[in-house]
Amino acid sequence: MTPQTAEPPVIAHGGGVWSIKVPIPDNPLGFTLVHLLDTDAGPVLVDTGWDDPASWATLTAGLATCGVAVEDVHGVVITHHHPDHHGLSAKVREVSGAWLAMHEADASVVRRTRSHSPERWYGYMAAKLTAAGAPADHVAPLIRARDEGRPRKLPGLDPALPDRGITPGELLALPGRRLRAIWTPGHTPGHVCLHLEEAHPAGLPGNGRLFSGDHLLPGITPHIGLYEDPEDDTVTDPLGDYLDSLERVGRLDPAEVLPAHQRAFTDAPARVRALLAHHEERLTGLLTLLAEPLTPWRLAERMEWNRPWADIPYGSRNIAVSEAEAHVRRLVKLGRAEAVPGSDPVTYVAV
């Protein structure tokens, strides 16, 4: 048997664009593709990867392979605030003096996260899960953490503050390049894709290249959960936001998509159609489950995931419940489901 050759940690895409596979520790995604874009003002990163010594070592080594030192980085454009994208931003800025740019909706999340104590977040999540019908033994560790005043241990609880905004529809100030911000809420409220409005270096047909972050991935669907804000009781519709954003990206018809995970791919419109069909099929399946009233927790228990519910770890269950509730909100907005009056915790049923 011929041994398999590992894929290189740096991928040259041509036209002054590279990708560096920065590892995410103990995560099935494996790595974040941090993109490097050459500009007349110096190299610019799209995302930075997870804040971990091994990730930092891979990022710096990858940059060196591209002929770039971290100190040379001119700017960092963040597709969204999650720690596998924004985690190393502070360290990159500290070493290089680079600016950090982020959409205001996600910058607001960053400011909120930094300003609230860990106890506030533990208590908020405990209340959210209780309202979603989580059993008391699942909520208990969060309540203990709140009451014991545990220190910050979760990733992303002290993210770097951006010093520049990203305005949807406008070109970023990158001399020698045409990179336009496309607002694509859904995965996060301020997620952006970045459209490189330049001919593909290999002559592929289509409209330039798209740095898609987590919005459009070749083989998996991004998590679509609730936009959490302890100080805002607005009923958001993140799944509706995501589906609308998908259609907008599909109409761009880029020659190639450079996502933040997995691999580069072509035929974005086909991938968009597949994702739209997937979510419609999933909503239809949830309506079948909601033939009887169910809390979001009970609904999550019965939904199809990549493994049985019994094998899903604690933190991932919280994410699954958030995704179940986001789907229910979409059904409610479409008039296909409703909350059962007087239910506590709230249950939903198909109509």
Buried b (16+ CB within 10 A) or exposed e, 278-309: ebeebbeebeebbeeebbbbbbbbebeeeeee
pLDDT of 4 higher than 60: no
Strand 44-46 to 75-77 pairing: parallel
Q: What are the phi and psi torsion angles at 284 (to 5°)?
A: -65, -40
**6 alpha carbon, distance to own chain's centre:** 26
So what's the pLDDT on residue 76?
A: 98
Q: State both tokens at 253.
A: 């018809």
229-275: pLDDT as tens digits: 777 778 889 999 999 999 999 999 999 999 999 999 999 999 999 99
- Stated as kind and residue range, the H or E segment containing 238 is helix 238-252
State residue 168's pLDDT score.
Answer: 96
Q: 345: cis peptide before it, omega within 30°?
A: yes
pLDDT in tens, 271-292: 999 999 999 999 999 999 999 9
Q: Alpha-carbon distance 84 to 184, whole Å?
A: 18
Query: What is the CB neighbour count within 10 angstroms for residue 251?
Result: 11
Residue 171 DSSP label:
B
Q: Is the pLDDT of residue 228 over 80?
A: no
Mean pLDDT of 102-117: 90
| Residue 332 to residue 326: CA distance in whole angstroms | 10
pLDDT of 232 reads 74
Non-local CB neighbours of 351 within 8 Å, separated by 6+ positions: 335, 336, 337, 338
Question: What's the CA gap between 22 and 59, in Å, rounded?
Answer: 6
Summarize pLDDT for 184-206 with one digit per residue, the tens: 999 999 999 999 999 999 999 99
What CA dihedral angle connects 221, 250, 283 and 129, to 10 degrees? Answer: 50
Phi then psi dihedrals of residue 18, to 5 deg: -130, 160
What is the model's pLDDT at position 150?
Answer: 64
- Using pLDDT thresholds of 50, 70 and 90, give the confidence band for residue 116: confident
Lowest-pLDDT range, 32-36, 50-54, 107-111, 117-121? 117-121
Whether residue 1 is predicted with pLDDT greater than 90 in this model: the reply is no
Q: Considering the chain, what percentage of its residues have pLDDT values greater than 90?
A: 84
Residue 299 has pLDDT above 90, yes or no: yes
pLDDT (0 to 100) of residue 290:
98
Residue 3: what pLDDT?
36
Read off the pLDDT of each residue in 169-179 and give the average, rounded to a whole number: 97
Instruction: Over range 89-114, report the average pLDDT.
Output: 95
Q: Which amino acid is at 136?
A: A
Burial of 26 (0-12, 13-18, 19+ CB in 10 A): exposed
* pLDDT tens figures, 122-164: 888 999 999 999 999 999 999 998 888 765 555 556 789 999 9
- 175: exposed, middle or buried (Cβ count in 10 Å: 0-12, 13-18, 19+): exposed
pTM beyond 0.85: yes
Give me the mean pLDDT over the 314-340 stretch.
96
* Mean pLDDT, residues 42-67: 96
